[in-house]
Protein backbone atom coordinates (compact mmCIF):
# COMPACT_ATOMS: atom_id res chain seq x y z
CA UNK A 1 0.00 0.00 0.00
CA UNK A 2 1.13 3.51 -0.71
CA UNK A 3 0.72 5.10 2.67
CA UNK A 4 1.93 4.54 6.19
CA UNK A 5 -0.81 2.09 7.19
CA UNK A 6 2.06 -0.39 7.43
CA UNK A 7 0.65 -2.28 10.36
CA UNK A 8 -1.89 -3.58 7.85
CA UNK A 9 0.61 -3.91 5.03
CA UNK A 10 3.01 -5.74 7.33
CA UNK A 11 0.66 -8.71 7.21
CA UNK A 12 1.36 -8.95 3.49
CA UNK A 13 4.45 -11.14 3.54
CA UNK A 14 5.86 -13.73 1.21
CA UNK A 15 6.62 -17.25 2.37
CA UNK A 16 10.21 -16.27 3.13
CA UNK A 17 9.09 -13.45 5.43
CA UNK A 18 9.66 -10.56 3.03
CA UNK A 19 7.40 -7.52 3.40
CA UNK A 20 5.20 -7.12 0.31
CA UNK A 21 3.57 -3.75 -0.30
CA UNK A 22 0.04 -3.68 -1.70
CA UNK A 23 0.33 -1.60 -4.85
CA UNK A 24 -3.31 -1.73 -5.98
CA UNK A 25 -4.78 1.76 -6.28
CA UNK A 26 -7.79 3.66 -7.56
CA UNK A 27 -6.12 4.77 -10.77
CA UNK A 28 -8.52 7.44 -12.02
CA UNK A 29 -6.89 10.55 -13.50
CA UNK A 30 -7.66 14.28 -13.39
CA UNK A 31 -6.91 15.69 -16.85
CA UNK A 32 -6.97 19.03 -18.62
CA UNK A 33 -8.68 17.94 -21.85
CA UNK A 34 -12.15 17.67 -20.27
CA UNK A 35 -14.32 20.77 -19.77
CA UNK A 36 -14.45 22.07 -16.21
CA UNK A 37 -17.75 21.13 -14.59
CA UNK A 38 -18.22 18.02 -16.69
CA UNK A 39 -18.85 14.58 -15.28
CA UNK A 40 -16.00 12.08 -15.28
CA UNK A 41 -15.55 10.10 -18.47
CA UNK A 42 -15.60 6.31 -18.32
CA UNK A 43 -17.62 3.78 -16.38
CA UNK A 44 -14.97 1.70 -14.65
CA UNK A 45 -13.32 2.77 -11.39
CA UNK A 46 -9.59 3.02 -11.94
CA UNK A 47 -9.89 4.01 -15.58
CA UNK A 48 -12.07 7.14 -15.41
CA UNK A 49 -10.99 10.67 -16.35
CA UNK A 50 -12.05 13.69 -14.30
CA UNK A 51 -11.77 17.34 -15.38
CA UNK A 52 -9.19 19.74 -14.00
CA UNK A 53 -11.27 22.29 -12.10
CA UNK A 54 -10.09 24.73 -9.46
CA UNK A 55 -11.90 24.31 -6.15
CA UNK A 56 -13.44 20.96 -7.00
CA UNK A 57 -10.95 18.65 -5.31
CA UNK A 58 -9.30 18.34 -1.90
CA UNK A 59 -5.95 16.67 -1.33
CA UNK A 60 -6.20 14.48 1.74
CA UNK A 61 -2.75 13.98 3.23
CA UNK A 62 -0.85 13.42 6.47
CA UNK A 63 2.49 14.97 7.38
CA UNK A 64 3.52 11.68 8.99
CA UNK A 65 3.43 9.76 5.71
CA UNK A 66 6.36 9.98 3.25
CA UNK A 67 4.17 9.16 0.26
CA UNK A 68 1.68 11.90 1.14
CA UNK A 69 4.57 14.27 1.85
CA UNK A 70 5.60 13.98 -1.79
CA UNK A 71 2.24 15.38 -2.86
CA UNK A 72 2.36 18.10 -0.20
CA UNK A 73 5.74 19.26 -1.54
CA UNK A 74 4.69 19.12 -5.20
CA UNK A 75 1.49 21.07 -4.50
CA UNK A 76 3.47 23.76 -2.68
CA UNK A 77 6.28 24.05 -5.24
CA UNK A 78 3.79 24.35 -8.11
CA UNK A 79 1.66 26.90 -6.25
CA UNK A 80 -1.58 24.91 -6.40
CA UNK A 81 -2.83 25.91 -2.95
CA UNK A 82 -5.65 28.07 -4.30
CA UNK A 83 -6.73 25.48 -6.87
CA UNK A 84 -6.63 22.37 -4.65
CA UNK A 85 -7.37 22.65 -0.94
CA UNK A 86 -5.71 20.30 1.52
CA UNK A 87 -6.96 18.33 4.50
CA UNK A 88 -4.45 16.97 7.00
CA UNK A 89 -5.13 13.81 8.97
CA UNK A 90 -3.50 13.27 12.32
CA UNK A 91 -0.46 11.03 12.79
CA UNK A 92 -2.16 8.17 14.66
CA UNK A 93 -5.02 5.98 13.53
CA UNK A 94 -6.48 2.56 14.03
CA UNK A 95 -6.79 -0.37 11.68
CA UNK A 96 -9.70 1.23 9.85
CA UNK A 97 -8.60 4.65 8.69
CA UNK A 98 -6.63 7.84 8.97
CA UNK A 99 -8.71 10.33 10.98
CA UNK A 100 -8.97 14.12 11.10
CA UNK A 101 -8.46 14.41 14.83
CA UNK A 102 -6.29 17.53 14.49
CA UNK A 103 -9.33 19.54 13.40
CA UNK A 104 -12.08 21.00 15.60
CA UNK A 105 -14.64 18.33 16.52
CA UNK A 106 -12.37 15.75 14.92
CA UNK A 107 -13.75 16.39 11.45
CA UNK A 108 -12.22 17.73 8.27
CA UNK A 109 -13.57 21.30 8.10
CA UNK A 110 -14.38 21.18 4.37
CA UNK A 111 -15.86 17.71 3.86
CA UNK A 112 -17.14 17.18 7.39
CA UNK A 113 -15.81 13.62 7.49
CA UNK A 114 -14.14 12.13 10.56
CA UNK A 115 -12.50 9.14 8.88
CA UNK A 116 -10.94 9.23 5.43
CA UNK A 117 -12.55 5.81 5.06
CA UNK A 118 -15.89 7.59 4.55
CA UNK A 119 -14.68 9.13 1.28
CA UNK A 120 -13.45 5.73 0.09
CA UNK A 121 -16.80 4.11 0.94
CA UNK A 122 -18.63 6.92 -0.87
CA UNK A 123 -16.78 5.85 -4.00
CA UNK A 124 -16.62 2.08 -3.46
CA UNK A 125 -18.95 0.74 -0.73
CA UNK A 126 -17.08 -1.59 1.63
CA UNK A 127 -13.77 -0.68 -0.05
CA UNK A 128 -11.64 -3.74 0.80
CA UNK A 129 -8.11 -2.35 0.70
CA UNK A 130 -6.07 -0.06 2.95
CA UNK A 131 -7.30 3.52 3.45
CA UNK A 132 -4.30 5.35 2.10
CA UNK A 133 -2.94 8.87 1.81
CA UNK A 134 -2.52 10.85 -0.33
CA UNK A 135 -6.01 10.70 -1.73
CA UNK A 136 -7.69 13.24 -3.99
CA UNK A 137 -11.35 13.72 -3.04
CA UNK A 138 -14.12 15.10 -5.23
CA UNK A 139 -15.90 17.67 -3.07
CA UNK A 140 -19.37 17.55 -4.69
CA UNK A 141 -19.64 13.83 -3.91
CA UNK A 142 -17.10 13.59 -1.03
CA UNK A 143 -15.64 10.54 -2.75
CA UNK A 144 -12.11 9.49 -3.59
CA UNK A 145 -11.02 10.14 -7.16
CA UNK A 146 -7.57 8.58 -6.89
CA UNK A 147 -5.05 7.37 -4.35
CA UNK A 148 -2.42 6.45 -6.95
CA UNK A 149 0.20 8.82 -5.55
CA UNK A 150 2.69 8.60 -8.43
CA UNK A 151 0.10 9.38 -11.13
CA UNK A 152 -1.47 12.00 -8.89
CA UNK A 153 1.85 13.83 -8.57
CA UNK A 154 2.55 13.70 -12.29
CA UNK A 155 -0.90 15.10 -12.99
CA UNK A 156 -0.23 17.96 -10.56
CA UNK A 157 2.89 18.73 -12.61
CA UNK A 158 1.38 18.41 -16.07
CA UNK A 159 -2.42 18.47 -16.19
CA UNK A 160 -2.78 21.34 -13.71
CA UNK A 161 -0.36 23.68 -15.51
CA UNK A 162 -3.06 26.34 -16.07
CA UNK A 163 -3.12 26.86 -12.30
CA UNK A 164 0.61 26.77 -11.60
CA UNK A 165 2.11 29.85 -9.98
CA UNK A 166 4.37 32.19 -11.92
CA UNK A 167 7.87 30.80 -11.54
CA UNK A 168 6.79 27.21 -10.90
CA UNK A 169 9.82 24.97 -11.57
CA UNK A 170 10.04 22.15 -14.08
CA UNK A 171 10.34 19.14 -11.79
CA UNK A 172 10.31 16.55 -14.57
CA UNK A 173 12.42 18.12 -17.34
CA UNK A 174 12.28 16.41 -20.70
CA UNK A 175 16.05 16.10 -21.01
CA UNK A 176 16.36 14.20 -17.73
CA UNK A 177 13.23 12.01 -17.73
CA UNK A 178 15.04 8.81 -18.67
CA UNK A 179 17.60 9.45 -15.93
CA UNK A 180 14.90 10.23 -13.36
CA UNK A 181 12.96 7.09 -14.27
CA UNK A 182 16.13 4.98 -14.07
CA UNK A 183 16.91 6.39 -10.64
CA UNK A 184 13.42 5.56 -9.41
CA UNK A 185 13.74 2.00 -10.72
CA UNK A 186 16.27 1.21 -7.96
CA UNK A 187 15.78 3.92 -5.33
CA UNK A 188 12.11 3.03 -4.83
CA UNK A 189 12.50 -0.73 -4.15
CA UNK A 190 15.75 -0.54 -2.18
CA UNK A 191 15.51 2.80 -0.33
CA UNK A 192 11.97 4.28 -0.25
CA UNK A 193 10.38 0.87 0.20
CA UNK A 194 13.62 -0.71 1.36
CA UNK A 195 13.36 0.76 4.85
CA UNK A 196 9.93 -0.87 5.19
CA UNK A 197 11.22 -4.16 3.84
CA UNK A 198 13.83 -3.99 6.58
CA UNK A 199 11.48 -2.89 9.34
CA UNK A 200 8.61 -5.25 8.58
CA UNK A 201 10.56 -8.34 7.58
CA UNK A 202 9.16 -11.41 9.30
CA UNK A 203 12.28 -13.55 8.96
CA UNK A 204 15.98 -12.88 9.62
CA UNK A 205 16.99 -13.69 6.07
CA UNK A 206 14.44 -11.33 4.55
CA UNK A 207 15.56 -8.57 6.91
CA UNK A 208 19.23 -9.01 6.07
CA UNK A 209 18.54 -9.03 2.33
CA UNK A 210 16.55 -5.79 2.57
CA UNK A 211 19.16 -4.25 4.88
CA UNK A 212 22.04 -5.09 2.52
CA UNK A 213 20.18 -3.74 -0.52
CA UNK A 214 19.29 -0.56 1.35
CA UNK A 215 22.86 0.19 2.32
CA UNK A 216 24.26 -0.73 -1.07
CA UNK A 217 21.93 1.88 -2.56
CA UNK A 218 22.68 4.51 0.09
CA UNK A 219 26.40 4.00 -0.55
CA UNK A 220 25.72 4.39 -4.26
CA UNK A 221 23.82 7.62 -3.58
CA UNK A 222 26.59 8.87 -1.30
CA UNK A 223 29.08 8.45 -4.13
CA UNK A 224 26.77 10.06 -6.69
CA UNK A 225 26.02 13.09 -4.52
CA UNK A 226 29.64 13.72 -3.61
CA UNK A 227 30.23 15.47 -6.93
CA UNK A 228 26.75 16.70 -7.88
CA UNK A 229 24.24 18.81 -6.01
CA UNK A 230 21.07 17.07 -7.19
CA UNK A 231 20.23 13.60 -8.42
CA UNK A 232 19.50 14.49 -12.06
CA UNK A 233 20.77 17.62 -13.79
CA UNK A 234 21.54 20.82 -11.91
CA UNK A 235 18.06 21.57 -10.53
CA UNK A 236 15.60 19.96 -8.15
CA UNK A 237 13.44 17.29 -9.79
CA UNK A 238 10.87 14.76 -8.65
CA UNK A 239 13.77 12.37 -8.03
CA UNK A 240 14.98 14.63 -5.22
CA UNK A 241 11.49 14.93 -3.72
CA UNK A 242 11.15 11.15 -3.64
CA UNK A 243 14.49 10.64 -1.92
CA UNK A 244 14.05 13.57 0.48
CA UNK A 245 10.91 12.21 2.13
CA UNK A 246 12.81 9.03 3.06
CA UNK A 247 16.08 10.67 4.11
CA UNK A 248 14.40 13.26 6.34
CA UNK A 249 12.78 10.46 8.36
CA UNK A 250 15.84 8.25 8.47
CA UNK A 251 17.67 9.23 11.65
CA UNK A 252 14.47 9.99 13.57
CA UNK A 253 12.68 6.76 12.67
CA UNK A 254 14.16 4.29 10.21
CA UNK A 255 17.59 3.96 11.82
CA UNK A 256 16.20 2.54 15.06
CA UNK A 257 12.55 1.69 14.56
CA UNK A 258 13.14 -0.17 11.29
CA UNK A 259 16.55 -1.57 12.27
CA UNK A 260 18.30 0.22 9.37
CA UNK A 261 21.16 1.00 11.72
CA UNK A 262 24.50 0.66 9.94
CA UNK A 263 24.90 4.43 9.87
CA UNK A 264 22.92 7.57 10.45
CA UNK A 265 22.54 10.01 7.59
CA UNK A 266 24.50 12.51 9.70
CA UNK A 267 27.46 10.13 9.36
CA UNK A 268 27.42 10.18 5.54
CA UNK A 269 28.90 13.52 4.41
CA UNK A 270 27.35 13.84 0.96
CA UNK A 271 23.89 12.59 1.90
CA UNK A 272 23.90 14.71 5.05
CA UNK A 273 24.84 17.84 3.11
CA UNK A 274 22.27 17.01 0.42
CA UNK A 275 19.54 16.50 3.01
CA UNK A 276 20.33 19.82 4.72
CA UNK A 277 20.38 21.59 1.35
CA UNK A 278 16.90 20.34 0.47
CA UNK A 279 15.52 20.80 3.99
CA UNK A 280 16.51 24.47 3.90
CA UNK A 281 14.89 24.95 0.47
CA UNK A 282 11.37 26.47 0.62
CA UNK A 283 8.78 23.76 0.09
CA UNK A 284 10.74 20.99 1.77
CA UNK A 285 11.64 21.53 5.42
CA UNK A 286 8.72 23.87 5.99
CA UNK A 287 6.34 20.95 5.33
CA UNK A 288 7.98 18.56 7.85
CA UNK A 289 6.44 17.92 11.26
CA UNK A 290 8.81 15.73 13.27
CA UNK A 291 6.59 15.13 16.33
CA UNK A 292 3.88 13.84 14.00
CA UNK A 293 6.35 11.69 12.09
CA UNK A 294 7.70 10.06 15.24
CA UNK A 295 4.31 9.67 16.90
CA UNK A 296 2.98 7.86 13.86
CA UNK A 297 5.74 5.31 13.46
CA UNK A 298 6.42 4.58 17.12
CA UNK A 299 2.81 4.71 18.32
CA UNK A 300 0.93 3.07 15.45
CA UNK A 301 3.36 0.25 14.65
CA UNK A 302 2.79 -1.80 17.78
CA UNK A 303 4.03 -4.95 16.05
CA UNK A 304 7.44 -3.28 15.91
CA UNK A 305 7.23 -1.10 19.06
CA UNK A 306 4.77 -2.82 21.45
CA UNK A 307 4.94 -0.15 24.19
CA UNK A 308 4.12 2.73 21.87
CA UNK A 309 6.76 4.86 23.58
CA UNK A 310 7.93 7.71 21.34
CA UNK A 311 11.64 8.58 21.76
CA UNK A 312 12.55 12.16 22.63
CA UNK A 313 15.57 12.22 20.31
CA UNK A 314 17.42 12.61 18.13
CA UNK A 315 18.48 16.27 18.03
CA UNK A 316 17.46 17.44 14.54
CA UNK A 317 18.72 21.02 14.77
CA UNK A 318 21.68 20.09 12.57
CA UNK A 319 19.32 20.19 9.59
CA UNK A 320 19.56 23.98 9.81
CA UNK A 321 23.36 24.19 9.80
CA UNK A 322 25.32 25.41 6.72
CA UNK A 323 25.70 22.75 4.04
CA UNK A 324 27.93 24.49 1.45
CA UNK A 325 26.33 22.43 -1.33
CA UNK A 326 26.02 25.56 -3.46
CA UNK A 327 29.74 25.14 -4.12
CA UNK A 328 28.80 22.22 -6.40
CA UNK A 329 26.82 24.61 -8.60
CA UNK A 330 23.27 24.16 -9.75
CA UNK A 331 20.18 26.26 -9.21
CA UNK A 332 17.44 24.80 -7.02
CA UNK A 333 14.53 25.94 -9.20
CA UNK A 334 16.31 26.47 -12.50
CA UNK A 335 14.58 29.25 -14.43
CA UNK A 336 11.78 29.23 -11.87
CA UNK A 337 11.58 30.74 -8.41
CA UNK A 338 11.11 29.56 -4.85
CA UNK A 339 7.56 29.43 -3.50
CA UNK A 340 6.57 32.21 -1.14
CA UNK A 341 5.62 31.86 2.52
CA UNK A 342 2.79 29.50 3.43
CA UNK A 343 -0.25 31.77 3.50
CA UNK A 344 -2.86 29.47 5.05
CA UNK A 345 -2.28 29.25 8.82
CA UNK A 346 -3.79 25.76 8.92
CA UNK A 347 -1.07 24.53 6.55
CA UNK A 348 1.88 25.86 8.53
CA UNK A 349 3.89 23.42 10.62
CA UNK A 350 3.31 24.31 14.28
CA UNK A 351 6.01 26.19 16.13
CA UNK A 352 8.53 23.78 17.59
CA UNK A 353 7.61 20.91 15.26
CA UNK A 354 10.38 21.56 12.74
CA UNK A 355 14.13 21.13 13.13
CA UNK A 356 14.76 24.25 15.21
Active site residues: 65, 196
d(C-alpha 256, C-alpha 294), whole Å? 11
d(C-alpha 270, C-alpha 199), whole Å? 25
Q: Is 98 annotated among the ligand-binding residues?
A: yes
Q: Is the alpha carbon torsion for 92, 94, 100, 105 positive or negative?
A: negative
By DSSP bridging, strand 57-61 and strand 85-88 are parallel
- Give the Å distances, CA to CA, from 176 to 10, 26, 132, 188, 250: 35, 28, 30, 18, 27
The length of the chain, given as a count of residues: 356
Are 236 and 186 within 8 A, CB to CB?
no
Residue from 184, 147, 188, 210 nearest 19 by CA:
210
Are 114 and 49 within 8 A, CB to CB?
no
Are 202 and 17 within 8 A, CB to CB?
yes
d(C-alpha 131, C-alpha 147), whole Å? 9
Are 30 and 50 within 8 A, CB to CB?
yes
d(C-alpha 318, C-alpha 271), whole Å? 13
d(C-alpha 148, C-alpha 275), whole Å? 26
Distance linking the first and last C-alpha atoms of the chain: 32
Q: Which residues touch 345 (CB under 8 Å, ≥6 apart)?
A: none
- Per the annotation, binding residues for glutathione are 98
Q: Which residues are annotated as a binding site?
A: 98
Amino acid sequence: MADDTEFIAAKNASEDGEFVRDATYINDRVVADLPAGSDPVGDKVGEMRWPVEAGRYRLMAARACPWASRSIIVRRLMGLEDAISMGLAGPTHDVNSWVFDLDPDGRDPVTGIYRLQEAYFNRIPDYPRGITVPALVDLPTTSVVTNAYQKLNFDLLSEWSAFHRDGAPDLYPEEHRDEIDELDSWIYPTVNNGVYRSGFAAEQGAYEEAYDELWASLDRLEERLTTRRYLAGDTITVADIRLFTTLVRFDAVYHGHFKANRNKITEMPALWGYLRDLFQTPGFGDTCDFPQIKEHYYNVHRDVNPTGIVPKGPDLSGLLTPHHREELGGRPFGDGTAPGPIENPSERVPEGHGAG
